[in-house]
Amino acid sequence: MRKLAAGNWKMNGNAAALSEVTALLSAHPDPTCEMLLCPPATLIAQMNWAARNSALRIGGQDCHAKAAGAHTGDISAAMLKDAGATYVILGHSERRADHGESDEEVRTKAEAALDAGLIAIVCVGETELQRDAGQTLAVVGAQLKASVPDAVTAENVVIAYEPVWAIGTGRTPTLDEIAEVHAFLRAELAARIGDQATGVRLLYGGSVKPSNAAEIFALANVDGALVGGASLKAADFGAIVAALSA
């Protein structure tokens, strides 16, 4: 399986920030891992152009469940694809919290993404309260079950485990805690789709940075990362790409 270094720019970046893409590609023209950046929708087409003929893939951060229609302000999976995206992040905890997205809604969006030929990166993760209450596996298990479409294969879906309390905080679970959740996710997928589960990429996300990337990537069942803050700068994201390619 090819590992995946995915960057989520969130609501950051404008045309001037595309210089980071140029810098990233000149430092890492041909990494062994797959390299993906998900900029704001306004930058997808321009970033796709900046990354033409390169190893960098482009993704969206959300899509609507419908293919087209009267949904002011929304973007369909087919539109992301048309702009040059090959991936879309779905069910990020910020979407779940800020827009009240339920597991069912995330699954419907993921189905739309698959229909449009995009690879869906489906995010799951517990809050700090849930972890403290010992509910982590129950929470991520339920999210996985209800958010991931039945058509899941190793090729069309990536799962990102992102503890909500680790996102943007500089705090991460212990290595044992990450390994425990990833092993659990693998087992749950295996119960659902059998041998295919070994090929589904399981990303860890939440305060991944150059200084902790290597030890996280050395864990079993960690097949890459979903990186927020550290994906904005070519030097930081490049160091994470290098750690994953090592």
Residues found near ligand PGA in the complex (CB under 6 A): 8, 162, 167-168, 205-208, 226-230
In the complex, what is the shortest distance from the CB of residue 53 to ligand PGA, in angstroms, rounded to a whole number?
27
Helical segments of the chain, H only: 18-27, 44-50, 77-83, 93-98, 103-115, 128-132, 136-147, 175-193, 210-217, 234-245
71 is catalytic: no
In the complex, what is the shortest distance from the CB of residue 206 to ligand PGA, in angstroms, rounded to a whole number?
5
Tokens at 199, concatenated: 């090929």
Q: Which is nearer to ligand PGA, 149 or 229 (CB)?
A: 229
In the complex, what is the shortest distance from the CB of residue 158 to ligand PGA, in angstroms, rounded to a whole number?
12
Between CA 185 and CA 201 the distance in angstroms is 11
CB count, 10 Å around CB of 57? 19
Task: Select the residue whose beta carbon is closest to ligand PGA and give its number.
Answer: 228
Q: Which is nearer to ligand PGA, 31 or 205 (CB)?
A: 205
Among 28, 64, 92, 182, which one carries the catalytic annotation? 92
**Amino acid sitting at position 235:** A
> Which residue in the block uniquely carries the two structure tokens 């920030």?
17
Among 34, 94, 162, 188, which one carries the catalytic annotation? 162
Q: Which is nearer to ligand PGA, 62 or 162 (CB)?
A: 162
Tokens at 106, concatenated: 């995330």
182 is catalytic: no
